[in-house]
Amino acid sequence: MRRLVPMDELVSDIKSFAARDFPRAEVDEYLASTLVAPDSLDGYLSYCEDRYTRHLVHKDEDFELLVICWGSGQKAPIHGHEGELCWARVERGKLRFSNYRIVSEEPLELTQEGDPVDGSSGFVDGPAELHSVDNPDAFGENAASLHLYAKPYSQCDVYDSLHGPVRRVDLAYDTINGEPVAPTTR
């Protein structure tokens, strides 16, 4: 059984991992053995009809922690994480994770590494370099996931298909510490 931790305890525990340069095995074990306490998670749950939403929980020079909310049928395209370590954990519902690697840069060719994985509450993916995440209509429910990024970044590469093109996108938040972000700054 997974231990429920309040969000502030989770952030504190991640700070201790950051101070030790994110020991992968320890972070993996911690994320596999915990979930965010429901009352701590609820303040970060907000859905949008036409896209997934990104809710910033914590950001400093060492790491960024987000809650991402996925309506049924929503997905993130294949994207990179700027070479940084990234973990994702399903907190509620179920999501499909697909990991990729670059085979050739010219012309761009990606290949999927293994079959997509359907992960339910508690499933941990990562650290992933290139991946996509989606909440297929077949799952029939909203989902929420926790994302931990070692060394925050403000842009990433998005791969429109397995064979390109690649585009650079700015990343934005829907809320910061539970407070809505003005649409003009998204």
Each residue of 51-70: pLDDT tens digit?
999 999 999 999 999 999 99
Amino acid at residue number 30: Y
- Reference 168, options 153, 183, 146; nearest CA is 153
pLDDT of residue 186: 45
Alpha carbon distance 175, 186 (integer Å): 10
Residue 103, SS3 per DSSP: strand
Q: pLDDT at position 106, please?
A: 79
Q: pLDDT for 11-55, tens place per residue? A: 999 999 999 999 999 999 999 999 999 999 999 999 999 999 999
Contacts of 14 (CB under 8 A, 6+ apart): 58, 63, 65, 148
* Per-residue pLDDT reduced to its tens digit, 109-160: 888 888 999 999 999 998 878 899 999 999 999 999 999 999 899 999 999 8
Query: Does residue 74 register a pLDDT over 50?
Result: yes
Yes or no: say if 38 and 45 are a contact pair by the CB < 8 Å rule.
no
Give CA–CA dist 157/155, Å, rounded.
7
**What pLDDT is attached to residue 55?**
97
Average pLDDT (83-102) is 92
Is the pLDDT assigned to residue 185 strictly greater than 50?
no
Per-residue pLDDT band for 72 (boundaries 50, 70, 90) equals very high
pTM: 0.93
For the chain, domains (ranges, CATH) are 45-174 (2.60.120.10)
What pLDDT was estimated at residue 88?
95
CB atoms within 10 A of CB 121: 16
